[in-house]
């Protein structure tokens, strides 16, 4: 008879966070059905926070598993592919007719493709170490935030920033395309910080938290705007490092 050992409670923590992310995504859909747009947006944000934490906790405790990775992808597909499209459709995309529904489908499909490609790239051990500081395409949580950007503007500034449904549909399709593109985007993985910058970064994080609490929608709009603005820089810095590596590879090696 095989004896099954009890698992430490800490091994369950990453998967619990993943399930919380899934529940938050589903809750966003429920809030949209009740036309509670602010709560729907907040639920997507909570899903993104839980998604960031589950991977970090798994690596910190050295308990990453194939099961956890698969569960995380399935939860992300719902929380960042299906839920944002559902919320946006009930908010305004249904006024764009069939084009609005196409945008919803494109976002969900591109999220699924993005996650599938990410999982397969994890098994690629031939990429250079520096390339691990970049994602290929916009990550699913960031893509969900970009897709929800028009709703952020609406919550932050009111009806004056309620973009036409056709424009929002086109934006959502563009975001889906960026998710499955080969565009290099910045990642915090593998990046190091000089000790000189630790205190300023901690102070900045505290200030950002305070601003998020006092004025969440304007703060989230600012964060989303900064991320969108970082996309060209991510491509530029990746291209620069790639050309440098290629240049070094062409130099003759002397014995």
Please tell me what DSSP assigns to residue 127: S
Residue 142 belongs to a domain: yes
Contacts of 70 (CB under 8 A, 6+ apart): 119
Tokens found for residue 199: 């205190």
Sole residue written with tokens 């690629």? 124
pLDDT in tens, 73-110: 999 999 999 999 999 999 999 999 899 999 999 999 99
Residue 3 belongs to a domain: no
Residue 67 belongs to a domain: yes
CA 55 and chain centroid, separation = 13
Sole residue written with tokens 């308990």? 63
Q: Give SS3 for 135.
A: strand
Residues spanned by the domain of 91: 9-246
Residue 251 belongs to a domain: no
What is the H or E stretch that residue 26 is in?
helix 13-33
Establish how many alpha carbons lie within 13 A of residue 128's alpha carbon, considering only the half-sphere containing its beta carbon.
10
> Alpha-carbon torsion 119, 176, 234, 250, what sign?
positive
pLDDT score at 2: 56
Q: Give SS3 for 163.
A: coil
Residue 2 belongs to a domain: no
Q: Are 175 and 111 in contact (CB under 8 A)?
A: no
Give first-to-last CA distance, the chain, whole Å: 61
Contacts of 242 (CB under 8 A, 6+ apart): none
pLDDT score at 190: 62
Residue 111 belongs to a domain: yes
- pTM for the full model? 0.87
Q: Where are the beta strands (DSSP E) in 206-251?
A: none
pLDDT in tens, 130-154: 777 788 889 999 999 999 999 999 9
What is the H or E stretch that residue 3 is in?
none
Region for residue 136 given its phi and psi (left: phi exceeds 0; alpha: psi -120 to 50; beta: otherwise): beta
Q: Spell out, as residue ranges, where the chain has pLDDT lower than 50.
A: 255
pLDDT score at 55: 81
Residue 42 belongs to a domain: yes
- Residue 193 burial by Cβ neighbours in a 10 Å radius (0-12, 13-18, 19+): exposed
pLDDT score at 68: 82
Residue 194, domain CATH: 1.20.120.1760
Residue 185 belongs to a domain: yes
Q: How many domains does the chain fold into? A: 1
């Amino acid at each position: 008879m095989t004896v099954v050992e009890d698992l430490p409670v800490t091994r369950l923590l990453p998967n619990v966070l993943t399930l919380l992310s899934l529940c938050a995504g589903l809750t966003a859909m429920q809030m949209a059905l009740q036309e509670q747009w602010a709560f729907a947006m907040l639920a997507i944000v909570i899903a993104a926070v839980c998604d960031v934490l589950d991977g970090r906790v798994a690596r910190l405790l050295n308990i990453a598993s194939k099961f956890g990775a698969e569960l995380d992808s399935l939860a992300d597909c719902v929380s960042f592919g299906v839920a944002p499209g559902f919320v946006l459709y009930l908010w305004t995309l249904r006024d764009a007719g069939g084009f609005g529904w196409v945008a919803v489908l494109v976002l969900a499909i591109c999220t699924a493709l993005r996650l599938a490609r990410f999982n397969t790239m994890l098994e690629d051990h031939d990429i250079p170490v520096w390339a691990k500081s970049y994602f290929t395409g916009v990550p699913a949580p960031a893509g969900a935030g970009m897709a929800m950007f028009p709703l952020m503007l609406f919550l932050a500034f009111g009806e004056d920033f309620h973009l036409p449904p056709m424009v929002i549909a086109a934006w959502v399709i563009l975001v889906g395309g960026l998710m499955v593109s080969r565009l290099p985007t910045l990642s915090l993985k593998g990046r190091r910080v000089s000790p000189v910058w630790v205190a300023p970064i901690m102070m900045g994080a505290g200030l950002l938290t305070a601003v998020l609490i006092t004025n969440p929608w304007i703060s989230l709009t600012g964060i989303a705007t900064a991320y969108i603005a970082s996309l060209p820089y991510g491509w530029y810095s990746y291209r620069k490092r790639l050309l440098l590596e290629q240049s070094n590879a062409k130099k003759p090696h002397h014995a």
